[in-house]
Amino acid sequence: MENLIYCFHFNVFFSLDKLNQKDVTHLLNKKKYNVETGIKLKKYKDNRPIINLNIMKIWKCILLIAFCAPIQAFSQEAPLNPDNNPADKKFIENESSEMTWFMLQDTVKMEIGKVLTEIEKKKGEIVVITTVDMKQSPSKWIDSTIVETTNFKPIYHSSFNAQRDMVLNFGNEVTGYYLDKKTGAKTIISEKTEKSYFDSNFYPQLIRWLPLKDGYSTVISIFDYNPKAKTGVITATVKSVQKTSINWNGQEHSVWQVQTTDDISDNAAISTYYIDDKTRKVLKQDIDFNGRKMSMELNE
């Protein structure tokens, strides 16, 4: 705030520099400035001139750069990405967990499916396989993600369901294909990217391992491919984090309540994760999408 006040004053000073010739002549005729030297005639008691106008302009430029530039440089932190990754890897373990997916309407809670997530740490790689078994779907949805262990840089992502198949290979370019099973149209994918990013299918896992604390928020750089929506490097946002407790399996558990959204839904879908503060397991996830509410709860 102090720097902003300085900048405000500098803007006022600069407006004085933009006096037109008529204004300058008027000031000189008022005997406020010496015509030849440009020195303000008003003096201190020891007869020293207050300041030289040309020197004042130079110092104003120097001070403007010194005080205002840091505000622009640090006003927004860089999004998290594999090159800027504060995740705590001690929480990453081989695990298999199942959540029950519910649709909520008023006081009615109806089960619509189950979600199985398997995480396997291999040499140099982390593999995440998500299997969604919806009650009204004839086939399961299976998503696989492979990332580097060191920084979670994406390597591979595949997604197979009744509507479409998709395969992405990550490198200097994102290559693969997208098959629309309804129309039979197959699109060959070749996307150039200049920014560092995580796979969009991986960031819900990444959130669990971030340095969560009260008031924490951040932006995450992700890549998503969807020919019917946004494609390329977009962002997910951790909007807020707070410590709270929930009743799970008949017991009170201390959790991090983490609220997120992303550009995939045009930030319309809000997901709230309830993450055990010790194990970092997701005990519950609430989803609110334009008033439609869903919830997923860990089965253990």
Kind of pairing, strands 218-224 and 198-199?
Answer: parallel
Is residue 80 included in any domain, yes or no?
Answer: no
- Block residue for tokens 């102090």: 2
CA 180/CA 166 separation, integer angstroms: 9
Residues 94, 67, single domain; the answer is no
Residues 143, 289, single domain; the answer is yes
Amino acid at 122: K
Q: Which of 21, 41, 74 is the last residue of a domain?
A: 74
> What local confidence, expressed as pLDDT, does residue 291 receive?
87
> What local confidence, expressed as pLDDT, does residue 181 receive?
94
Residues 132, 106, single domain; the answer is yes
Domain assignment of residue 207, given as a range: 89-299
Contact residues for 232 (Cβ-Cβ < 8 A; gap 6+): 191, 193, 223, 224
Residues 30, 106, single domain; the answer is no
Residues 185, 222, single domain; the answer is yes
Residues 54, 122, single domain; the answer is no
Residues 53, 14, single domain; the answer is yes
Is residue 10 included in any domain, yes or no?
Answer: yes
The Cα-based distances of 50 to 41, 43, 44, 265 in angstroms read 8, 6, 7, 60
Q: Which of 25, 46, 74 is the last residue of a domain?
A: 74
Is residue 197 included in any domain, yes or no?
Answer: yes
Is residue 79 included in any domain, yes or no?
Answer: no
Is residue 69 included in any domain, yes or no?
Answer: yes
> What local confidence, expressed as pLDDT, does residue 106 receive?
87
Residues across the chain: 300
> What local confidence, expressed as pLDDT, does residue 46 receive?
47
Residues 287, 156, single domain; the answer is yes
Residues 37, 153, single domain; the answer is no
Binned average pLDDT, 10 residues per bin, the chain of 300 residues: 30 34 42 42 44 42 39 58 95 96 93 97 95 93 97 97 96 96 95 94 96 97 90 95 94 96 93 96 95 94
CB 129 within 8 A of CB 117: yes
CA 152/CA 135 separation, integer angstroms: 33
Residues 130, 202, single domain; the answer is yes
Is residue 84 included in any domain, yes or no?
Answer: no
Residues 158, 200, single domain; the answer is yes
Residues 262, 115, single domain; the answer is yes
| Host H or E run for residue 24 | helix 21-29
How many domains does the structure of the chain reveal? 2
Name the residue among 280, 257, 255, 227 with its Cα closest to residue 97.
280
Is residue 206 included in any domain, yes or no?
Answer: yes
> What local confidence, expressed as pLDDT, does residue 73 receive?
35
> What local confidence, expressed as pLDDT, does residue 76 receive?
53
The Cα-based distances of 94 to 54, 112, 122, 143, 298 in angstroms read 68, 27, 9, 17, 17
